[in-house]
Amino acid sequence: MDKSESPRIPIAALGFALSAFFAVSFTICILGYLFGPVTQVQHEALSIFLPGFKLLTWGSFFLGLGESIVWGWYIAVVFGTIYNFVAPRFA
């Protein structure tokens, strides 16, 4: 990379990566709820970030999975755009 070039975040790659991360994390959380030992973790807290999510039906699982993917893209677009706008000013 040339010194005149500023680092940029590829928003599409970030969107796919964050969406996959959130989808896998959501699925692991649900599997932990179903098959893990009883703990004091409140899985209902997922409904704070995933509107309409309730433990646990198939429809609710797919709603939460879809919302996790949407959150990944939302963060990628907002953060990536802001970073790509601000980073050249500090390069």
Tell me the per-residue pLDDT of 16-29, one tens digit each, with 9 for 90 and over.
999 999 999 999 88
So what's the pLDDT on residue 34? 82
pTM listed for this prediction: 0.82
Question: Which region, left, alpha or beta, applies to residue 54 given φ > 0 means left and ψ of -120 to 50 means alpha?
Answer: beta
So what's the pLDDT on residue 40? 58
pLDDT digits (tens, 9 = 90+) for 33-91: 888 777 656 666 777 788 888 877 899 899 999 999 999 999 999 999 999 999 888 87
So what's the pLDDT on residue 65? 94
3-state helix vs strand vs coil in the chain, percent to 5: 70, 0, 30
